[in-house]
Amino acid sequence: MKVLMIPQYEKRRFKVQKGISVHEKREKENSKYLWKKIGAIDRKSDAYLFSEKYHLFGLIDEIVTFADGTMAPIDYKFSTYSKTVYKTHRIQILCYCLLIEELFGKTVKKGYIFYIRKGSKQVEINYNKRSKDQILKSINEILEIIQNEKIPPRTKYYNRCSDCTYKNICI
Ligand code: SF4
């Protein structure tokens, strides 16, 4: 997207369309008290955060505060939990942790993913020095691709290609 300037036509993708459906909005609305179950005392909804330092932006479903002053992001997924957290979901929530830590100047120890389809499952993702280092490394790798115009290698997991918008042009 940033090197070849070929947009990702997300609206054509069934899963993305599903993700922004009215049904999802209703499910999310029904889940609005879930944040209290994790012991938070306050929250902000739909927070748009941008960091020039980390080259990141994100629209975070909820940012919660705990009694000890620490904060955490919550991301709602309109899907069922399938025993494992996808790497992309984990990276997304850790990026939100990084954004909150920088922009609010608060300690962030964890983030949450709430899988809300057919009930709800709350998954806690630890945010610590190791995970922060991993995220910073990923950001640097992406910046290197963009700044050096270096095409990244294909994924080793070909099942990811089936609904990729670039599958017809990917080398
Ligand atoms: S087609 Fe597969 S390898 Fe190519 S960009 Fe898409 S997911 Fe990655």
Written as tens digits, the pLDDT of the chain (171 aa) is: 888 888 887 655 555 555 556 556 656 666 667 888 899 999 998 899 999 999 999 999 999 999 999 999 999 988 888 888 988 899 999 999 999 999 999 999 999 999 888 777 899 999 999 999 999 999 999 999 899 988 888 889 888 898 888 888 886
| Overall number of domains in the chain | 1
Residues touching ligand 1 (Cβ under 6 Å) are 154-155, 160-161, 164, 166-167, 170
**Can you point out the beta strands (E) in 9-164?**
42-51, 56-65, 71-77, 110-115, 121-126
Residue 169 falls within a domain, yes or no? Answer: no
For residues 46 and 28, the answer to whether their CB atoms sit within 8 Å is: no
β-pair partners for 49: 58
Question: Looking at residue 53, what is its pLDDT?
Answer: 95
Which of 2, 151, 166 for mutating ligand 1's site (highest number of atoms within 8 Å of CB)?
166
**CATH code: domain of residue 47:** 3.40.1350
Question: Looking at residue 68, what is its pLDDT?
Answer: 96
C-alpha 57 – ligand 1 centre gap (Å): 23
C-alpha 30 – ligand 1 centre gap (Å): 35
Question: Looking at residue 4, what is its pLDDT?
Answer: 84
Question: Looking at residue 132, what is its pLDDT?
Answer: 96
Residue 165 falls within a domain, yes or no? Answer: no
* R_g of the chain, CA atoms, integer Å: 17
Residue 78 falls within a domain, yes or no? Answer: yes
Torsional class of 64: left (φ above 0), alpha (ψ -120 to 50), beta (otherwise): beta
Residue 3 falls within a domain, yes or no? Answer: no
Residue 158 falls within a domain, yes or no? Answer: no
Question: Looking at residue 23, what is its pLDDT?
Answer: 59
Question: Looking at residue 163, what is its pLDDT?
Answer: 82
Residue 132 falls within a domain, yes or no? Answer: yes
Question: Looking at residue 164, what is its pLDDT?
Answer: 86
Residue 70 falls within a domain, yes or no? Answer: yes
Question: Looking at residue 169, what is its pLDDT?
Answer: 84
Q: Which residue owns the Cα nearest ligand 1 atom 3?
A: 154
Q: Which residue owns the Cα nearest ligand 1 atom 2?
A: 161
Domain range enclosing 25: 10-147
Question: Looking at residue 82, what is its pLDDT?
Answer: 82
Max CA separation in the chain (angstroms): 51
d(CA 102, CA 115): 26
C-alpha 168 – ligand 1 centre gap (Å): 9
β-pair partners for 56: 51
Which of 12, 160, 171 for mutating ligand 1's site (highest number of atoms within 8 Å of CB)?
160
Long-range CB pairs of 5-9 (<8 Å, 24+ gap) are 6/166, 6/169, 8/165, 8/166, 9/165
Residue 42 falls within a domain, yes or no? Answer: yes
